[in-house]
Chains A and B, each alone.
Chain A
Amino acid sequence: MTDTTTNAPAAAEHGPVPLPPSVARLLVAVGAVGTIASAFLSWTWTSDFPGDLTVYGYPAGLQILALVGGVLTLLFGLTLWDVKWLRWLNPANSTSPVLLTALSAFAVCWFTGIAITVDLGGLVNLDPGAFVAMAASALPVVGALALPHPAPGTGIRGYLAKPQLPAPGKASPLTERIVITVGVALALVTFTYGIGIDNDASETFIGYLLLLVFAAWGLMHTGLVDRFATTAAHHKGFASALAFAAAVIFPFTQSDDHNANVGVNILIFATVALGLNIVVGLTGLLDLGYVAFLGVGAYAAALVSGSEYSRFSGVHFPFWAAALTGMAASLVFGVLIGAPTLRLRGDYLAIVTLGFGEIFRITVNNLDGTSGPNITRGPNGITQIPDLNIFGFNLGESHNILGFSLGRFANYLFLMLIVTAIVVLVFTRAADSRIGRSWIAIREDETAATAMGINGFRVKLIAFALGASLAGLAGSVMAHVNYSVNPQPYQFAGAAPPNSAFLLAAVVLGGMGTVSGPLLGASVLYLVPEKLQFLQNYELFAFGVALIVLMRFRPEGIIANRRRQLEFHETGQLDVPTQTTLSDDPAVTKAGA
Chain B
Amino acid sequence: MTTPVLEARDVTMRFGGLTAVRSVDFTVNSGEIVGLIGPNGAGKTTFFNCLTGLYVPTEGTVSYQGKVLPPKPHLVTQAGIARTFQNIRLFANMTVLENVLVGRHTRTKEGLWSALLRGPGFRKAEKESEAKAMELLEFIGLAAKRDHLARNLPYGEQRKLEIARALASEPGLLLLDEPTAGMNPQETRATEDLVFAIRDKGIAVLVIEHDMRFIFNLCDRVAVLVQGEKLVEGTSDVVQADERVVAAYLGEPFEGDPGAAEAAEVEAAEATAEAEGAESAEPADSAETAEPADSAATTDTVESTEADSTTKGEAQ
Q: How far is the CB of B126 from chain A (nearest CB, A)?
A: 7
Q: Are A589 and B122 in contact (CB under 8 A)?
A: no
* Chain A residues with CB under 8 A of B98: 437, 440
Known contacts A435-B111, A435-B112, A452-B102; decide if A563 and B89 are in contact (CB<8 Å): no
> Smallest Cβ distance from A282 to chain B, in angstroms?
12
Whether B116 sits at the interface, judged by CB under 8 Å, is yes
Residues of B within 8 A of A213 (CB): none
A542 and B148 alpha carbons, distance in the complex (Å): 39
> Using a CB-CB cutoff of 8 Å, which residues 427-461 of chain A contact chain B?
429-430, 433-438, 440-441, 444-445, 447-456
Interface residues of B in 63-95 (CB under 8 A from A): 72-74, 77-78, 82-83, 85, 89-95
**B152 in contact (CB, < 8 A):** yes
List the B side residues contacting A401 at CB < 8 Å.
none
Known contacts A426-B116, A434-B110, A454-B102; A575/B85 CB under 8 A: no
Give chain B residues whose Cβ lies under 8 Å from the Cβ of A440. 91, 93-94, 98
Assess whether B105 is in contact with A582, with CB atoms less than 8 Å apart: no
- Is B91 touching A444 in the complex (CB atoms < 8 A)? yes
Known: A437-B102, A566-B149. A448 touches B74 (CB 8 A): no
From A436, A573, A584, contact of B147 by CB (8 A):
A584
Taking chain B's interface residues, is the majority helix, strand, or loop, or is none over half, making it mixed? Answer: helix
Q: What are the residues of chain B within 8 A of A436 when measuring CB–CB?
A: 115
Partner of B112, one of A430, A448, A456, A567: A430
Contact B85 A429 (CB under 8 A): no
Q: How many residues of A contact B (CB 8 A)?
A: 41
Interface: A195 (CB within 8 A): no
Q: Is B245 positioned at the interface, with any CB of A under 8 Å from its CB?
A: no
Asked if B152 contacts A573 (CB within 8 A), the reply is: yes
Report which of B94, B115, B152 forms a contact with A576, defined as CB distance below 8 A.
Answer: B152
What is the distance, in angstroms, from A469's C-beta to the closest C-beta of chain B? Answer: 11
Which residues of B90-134 are within 8 A (CB) of A?
Answer: 90-95, 98, 101-106, 108, 110-112, 114-116, 118, 122, 125-126, 129, 134
List B contacts of A434 (CB < 8 A): 101, 104-105, 108, 110-111, 115, 125-126, 129
- CB of A275, distance to nearest CB on chain B (Å): 14
> Within the complex, what minimum Cβ distance (angstroms) separates B168 from chain A?
8
Give chain B residues whose Cβ lies under 8 Å from the Cβ of A448: 85, 89-91
Complex CA–CA separation, A401 to B143 (angstroms): 55
Give per-residue flags for B140-178: 1 if the beta carbon is below 8 A from chain A beta carbons, else 0: 000111111101100000000000011001000000000
CA distance A581 to B144 in the complex (A): 6
B54 interface residue per 8 A CB criterion: yes
**Using Cβ atoms and an 8 Å threshold, which residues of chain A touch B78?**
453
- Are B101 and A577 in contact (CB-based, < 8 A)? no
Q: Is B61 interfacial (CB 8 A cutoff)?
A: no
User: A453–B74 contact, CB under 8 A?
Assistant: yes
- A477 located at the interface, meaning its Cβ lies under 8 Å from any Cβ of chain B in the complex: no
Q: How many A-B residue pairs have CB under 8 A?
A: 129
B30 at interface, CB cutoff 8 A:
no
Known: A447-B89, A448-B90, A453-B169. A566 touches B143 (CB 8 A): no
Instruction: Determine if A586 is an interface residue (Cβ-Cβ < 8 Å).
Output: yes
For A589, the closest partner residue in chain B by CB is B147
Residues of A within 8 A of B85 (CB): 448, 451
**B236 lies within 8 A of chain A by Cβ:** no
- Tell me, rounded to whole Å, the shortest Cβ–Cβ distance linking A233 to chain B: 13
Instruction: Say yes or no: B92 contacts A444, CB within 8 Å.
Output: yes
Shortest CB-to-CB span from B190 to chain A, Å, is: 21
A563 to B147 alpha-carbon distance, docked (Å): 12
Are the C-beta atoms of A452 and B145 separated by less than 8 Å?
no
Bound CA–CA A444/B95 (angstroms): 12
Contact B115 A586 (CB under 8 A): no
| Contact B89 A445, beta carbon cutoff 8 Å | yes
CB distance from A30 to the nearest CB of B (A): 47
Residues of chain B within 8 A (CB-CB) of A563 are 93-94, 149
Answer whether residue A466 sits at the interface, using C-beta atoms and an 8 A cutoff: yes
- Give the residues from 561 to 577 in chain A that come closer than 8 angstroms, CB to CB, to chain B: 563-564, 566-567, 572-573, 575-577
Indicate whether A462 reaches chain B with its CB closer than 8 angstroms: yes
A449 near B91 with CB under 8 A, answer yes
The answer to whether A580 has its CB under 8 Å from any CB of chain B is: yes
Which residues of chain B are within 8 angstroms of A589 by Cβ–Cβ distance? 95, 147
C-beta contact mask, A477-494 vs B, less than 8 Å → 1, else 0?
000000000000000000
Query: CA separation between A429 and B101, bound complex, in Å?
Result: 16
Q: Within residues 501 to 535 of chain A, which ones have a CB less than 8 A from any CB in chain B?
A: none
The distance in angstroms between the C-alpha atoms of A589 and B77, with both chains bound, is 29
Given A451-B73, A453-B77, A575-B152, verify A444-B115 contact (CB < 8 Å). no
Q: How far in angstroms is the closest Cβ of chain A from B129?
A: 8
Shortest B133–chain A CB gap in Å is 11
Chain B residues whose C-beta falls within 8 Å of the C-beta of A435 in the assembled complex: 110-112, 115
Q: Identify which of A425, A450, A575 contacts B148 (C-beta below 8 A).
A: A575
List residues of chain A with CB within 8 A of the CB of B108: 434
Question: Do B73 and A450 touch (CB < 8 A)?
Answer: yes
B52 within 8 Å of A (CB atoms): yes
Contact of B93 among A444, A456, A580 (CB under 8 A): A444
Shortest CB–CB separation between residue B314 and chain A, in angstroms? 24
**A438 vs B169: C-alpha distance when bound (angstroms):** 14
Least CB distance, B164 to chain A, in whole angstroms: 12
Given A433-B122, A575-B149, A584-B147: A449 touches B112 (CB 8 Å cut-off): no
| A430 close to B73 (CB less than 8 A) | no
- A110 to B88: give the CA distance in the assembly, Å: 54
Bound-state Cα–Cα, A433 to B114, Å: 9
B93 touches A567 (CB 8 A): yes
Contact check, A577 vs B93: say whether CB atoms are below 8 A apart: no
**Residues of chain B lying within 8 A (CB to CB) of residue A564:** 93
* Cβ–Cβ < 8 Å partners of B104 in chain A: 434
Contact of A566 with B93 in the complex, beta carbons under 8 Å: yes
A315 vs chain B, min Cβ distance (A):
29
Which of B54, B105, B110, B129 is within 8 Å of A452, CB to CB?
A: B105
- Given A433-B122, A567-B93, answer yes or no on A451-B148 (Cβ-Cβ < 8 Å): no
Pick the residue among B54, B83, B116 that contacts A429 (CB under 8 A).
Answer: B116
**Which residues of A sit under 8 angstroms from B148, Cβ to Cβ?**
575-577
A-chain residues with CB within 8 Å of residue B144 when the two chains form the complex: 580-582
- Tell me the complex Cα distance, A165–B83, Å: 42
List B contacts of A452 (CB < 8 A): 74, 77, 82, 102-103, 105-106, 165-166, 169
Q: Across the interface, which residues of A come within 8 angstroms of B74, CB to CB?
A: 450-456
Give the complex CA separation of A445 and B91 in angstroms.
Answer: 6
B91 to A451, Cβ gap below 8 A?
no
Closest to B148 in A: A576
Query: Which of A425, A426, A451, A566 has the most B CB atoms < 10 Å from its CB?
Result: A451
Complex CA–CA separation, A452 to B85 (angstroms): 11
Q: How far is the CA of A289 from the CA of B74 in the complex (A)?
A: 29
- Are B102 and A577 closer than 8 Å at their CB atoms? no
CB contacts (< 8 Å) of B102 on chain A: these are 437-438, 441, 449, 452, 454
Provide the bound-state CA to CA distance between A573 and B169, in Å: 30
**Does A451 contact B52, Cβ atoms closer than 8 Å?**
yes
Having A449-B91, A573-B152, one finds 20 other A-B pairs with CB under 8 Å, namely: A426-B116, A434-B104, A435-B115, A436-B115, A440-B94, A441-B91, A448-B85, A448-B91, A450-B54, A450-B73, A452-B166, A452-B169, A453-B105, A462-B112, A466-B112, A566-B93, A567-B92, A576-B148, A581-B144, A582-B144
- Ranked nearest first, the 4 interchain pairs of A and B with the lowest CB-CB distance are A453-B106, A433-B115, A453-B77, A448-B89
The chain A residues found within 8 Å of chain B, CB to CB, are 425-426, 429-430, 433-438, 440-441, 444-445, 447-456, 462, 466, 563-564, 566-567, 572-573, 575-577, 580-582, 584, 586, 589
Q: List 5 A-B contacts (CB under 8 A).
A: A440-B98, A444-B93, A451-B54, A566-B151, A576-B148
